[in-house]
A and B are shown apart, each in its own frame.
Chain A
Amino acid sequence: MRIVLDSDACQGHGRCYSLAPDLFDSDDEGYAVLKVDGEVPAGQEEAARLAADNCPEFAITVEG
């Protein structure tokens, strides 16, 4: 599974890093930072889907 973060769309809602803390972190201003290189580690698929499904800006997409 691949995960993509559109940093231009991110407005810092913070839903991703609270739902998927192993995949996302917050920068000093609260914007999302992807902690993985785009490949979702085994066992994190559900967290990845939650992050995508709860982003109000549609800034996260998962494929596969």
Chain B
Amino acid sequence: MTDTTRPPVADWTTDFDHTHPDYAQHAPEIWEELREGCPVAHTERFGGAWLPVRHEDVAAIARDTEHFSSEGVIVSDFRPEGLAPMGYAPPITSDPPFHAGSRRLLLPAFSPKEIDRWEETTRAACRELLDEMLADGATEVDAAVAYTQHIPVRVIAEMLGVPKEDGDKFRVFIHRVLEAPGSFAHEEIPYEETLDYYLKTLIAERRANPTGEDDLVNYLINVEVDGQPLSDDHVQGSIGLLIIAGIDTTWSAIGASLWHLAKTPEDRRRLVDDPDLMVFAVEEFLRFYAPVTMARIVAEGAEDAEIGGCPVSARDWVLLPFPAANRDPEAFEDAHQVILDRQRNRHLAFGVGIHRCVGSNLARMEIRVAVEEWIARIPDFELATDDPDAVRWSTGQVRGPRELPIRILSTNEVS
């Protein structure tokens, strides 16, 4: 499914392509090379885009909503126009002042106390997946296919109040949007199989037959701001955002965490022996394997916009590779080492500034529970391959292992 037709990259400093399979397999090496040679890379692809890799530059742009608009957050050949200030998936695509109100609608549902309610659901889903995965005595499994990819889908389906079988559709929608942006534009996809159709149908059905359930779809349909319900575009955009942003990202972080533990026996043992480490370990996995690269568009009329001293033009794309920022030695001691109990860790995995990931508490909980349940059941495991390329990493703006061959070395009985 990966788009393999991307032309080869001539030079990562002047012709980068984050949707190329070479970027997917070698991004950390590319960021390091750029950081040392050309920390603000450029490409003519996608109509012109920038790739800063220093922590300082990435954080500065993320916080600067005056010069950098969120009207477009997925870099592709299609550049949104005329959608500000709401954008197509509020609040992630919204600019101030519209942004704050739209974000405030979602925050309570994702506060830590609300997210606590979903921990048992998540734990049950993880246990069920492990039961299925181990049912026939398997000793080699693809952890991405059998485990990690299903966890966030099941939880978000429950939160939205849609059948868990819809999760398979979600993964197809997400792949089109995030991993191969633009490459499906010319393919004939029947309208009935699109995210747009799914959302419009879901909202229309709920309006026609109210279910009265306390779920996020009903909440967004019924909520009023200043006595007015949200526009259909707002409801659809926000539900779409929860599906697109809440699944691939967390799946990637869980997969990368298991990948790390599979290839690092001393960390695996430490985590099994000392569960109190988990609160630090989850943040360290998030720092080192941050899945998300955000994007901005240089705001219309922002004449003086610059990135690390490099002038940029209005309407240029700007990628914000949070994982690259998280490995910057200027910002982190021993940045290139995973230190499970790292004590100072101001990582940017969830971004920084007004667009801090609204689902960060949910993502953290899912990563923690997924790793806890895995190591409780499978305390010893390793990569089932010596070939680094056998672990395929996703292309585009969400980075994580899409195939994760694991050999199971020991299991515990279900408690």
Contacts and interface: CB of A to CB of B under 8 A. Distances in A.
A58 B331 CA distance: 13
Given A17-B112, A54-B346, A55-B346, A11 B279 contact: no
Interface in B80-129: 104, 107-108, 110-113
Contact of A30 (B343, B352, B354, B361): B361
Contacts of B110: 30
B360 A14 contact: yes
A12 B343 contact: no
A27 B107 CA distance: 10
A57 B352 contact: yes
B283 A14 contact: no
B343 A50 contact: yes
Contacts, number: 54
Contacts of A19: 279
B112 A30 contact: yes
A27 B112 CA distance: 9
B345 interface: yes
B352 A11 contact: yes
Which of A12, A28, A58: most chain B Cβ within 10 A? A12
B107 A29 contact: yes
Interface string B276-289: 00010001000000
22 contacts: A11-B352, A11-B353, A11-B356, A13-B350, A13-B356, A14-B361, A15-B283, A18-B112, A26-B111, A28-B107, A29-B107, A30-B112, A53-B344, A53-B345, A53-B346, A54-B283, A55-B346, A56-B346, A56-B347, A56-B350, A56-B356, A58-B346
Interface residues of A, number: 20
B164 to A, nearest CB: 26
- By size class, the interface of chain B is 20 to 34
Interface in A1-46: 11-15, 17-19, 26-30
Contacts of B350: 13, 56
A28 B111 contact: yes
B383 interface: no
Nearest to A52: B344
Interface in B265-284: 279, 283
Interface in B339-364: 343-348, 350, 352-354, 356, 360-361, 364
A26 B112 contact: yes
Interface of A: 11-15, 17-19, 26-30, 50, 53-58
Interface on chain A toward B: helix, strand, loop, or mixed SS? Answer: loop
A17 B28 CA distance: 31
A18 B279 contact: yes
Contacts of A50: 343
B356 A12 contact: yes
A26 B113 CA distance: 8
A64 B347 CA distance: 25
Contacts of B352: 11, 56-57
A9 B64 CA distance: 14
B344 A54 contact: yes
B143 to A, nearest CB: 26
B348 A56 contact: yes
Contact of A28 (B108, B343, B347, B364): B108
Nearest to B347: A56
A53 to B, nearest CB: 4
A54 B350 CA distance: 13
A55 B352 CA distance: 10
